[in-house]
Amino acid sequence: CTIDWFTEWPAEALRGVATEAFADIEFPNDTIKDGVVKLCRDIHQGVEKASLQYADELRRYNYVTPTSYLELLSTFRKVLAEKKDELETGKRRLTVGLDKLESTEKAVEVMQVELTDLKPVLVKTSQEVDELMAKIEVDKASAAETKAVVEGEKEIASVKAAECKAIKDSAEAGLAEALPALDEAVKVLQNLKASDLSEVAKYSNPPALAKLVIEALCVMFQIAPTKVGEAGKKVDDYWPPGKKLLGDKDLINNMKDYDKDHIPDKVIKKIETYIQNENFKPEKIESVSKACTAMCQWTLAMHKYHYVALEVEPK
């Protein structure tokens, strides 16, 4: 069969459709269900009659079709579901509230019992407080004497604090001088790559400035030179062990993690020769190699930090 969606449905058809639409809804009883079905039918038919009157009097048309009736039923189902949810939520909240009230009442009863039990303790404590107050009065005189002693010690402490501040200021001034150079050296090392070191290591006969830097690096890491030359006229050659050092994959990390706070005195004494060399300057070394410039800056920073650390070290 075919459903006619435009022609007006009879009352029995409207009732049947509503009954089917509400089949899965649990009503309190059949009387209420029948009443709801009848109400939906009457509303729909009332709107149909009102629409006819509206068209007759004002010549304007309001079309009421079976689809409108189905929308009415759908709206009722939706509103009913929403109201059920609201009621369930309210019921849950009420239940929780009642549970809280019950638990609170029990807690109050327990506290009342505890307060009754604690009353003798409170009386005893009050007596002890009175005794303590009397003792405090006696101790006031002693406290006055102690205060005088403390005031004297306070003056001594103020003098010591001033001395400590002077030491602190001196230390901060020294660090303010050394740390920027140290930070710059670390920054340069972070930009340094193993390939930069490899370029220096490729020299078979390195430039004098590059050789100077590698010698200083070997001194900082306490790497002994190779002895070259004729017997009795042998001289130190740092280039062979220096090339090996440049090939160490951990060299850059070892420079970053160098124990700058415990540089041996013999290393500082030996590196001094390079520090005083007028050619051992980054602005001169940079014409030879980026890597050598970084290693030069690092060596200078380690040397400066060593002497600043000695100045700020607690005496």
In degrees, rounded to 5, the angle at the alpha carbon of residue 215 between the alpha carbons of residues 209 and 219 is: 145
The count of other CB atoms within 10 Å of the CB of residue 123 is 10
Each residue's pLDDT tens digit, 39-70: 998 888 888 888 888 888 888 888 777 888 88
pLDDT for residue 178 is more than 70: no
Each residue's pLDDT tens digit, 196-243: 888 898 988 899 999 999 999 999 999 999 988 787 788 889 999 999
Find residue 236's DSSP bridge partners: 227
pLDDT, position 136: 59
Q: Which amino acid is at 166?
A: A
DSSP readout, 246-285? HT-TTHHHHHHT--GGG--HHHHHHHHHHHT-TT--HHHH
User: Which structure tokens are listed for 66?
Assistant: 């079976």
Q: How confident is the model at residue 301 (pLDDT cuts 50, 70, 90)?
A: very high
User: Which structure tokens are listed for 235?
Assistant: 């001289």
Q: Which of 223, 224, 239, 220 is nearest to 295 (CA)?
A: 220
Distances (CA, A) of 96 to 104, 105, 129, 147: 12, 14, 44, 59
Distance CA 32, CA 278 (A): 108
Distance CA 300, CA 283 (A): 13
Distances (CA, A) of 16 to 28, 51, 156, 268: 20, 23, 103, 106
pLDDT, position 7: 65
pTM of the model: 0.47
Read off the pLDDT of each residue in 19-40 and give the average, rounded to a whole number.
Answer: 89
pLDDT, position 215: 94
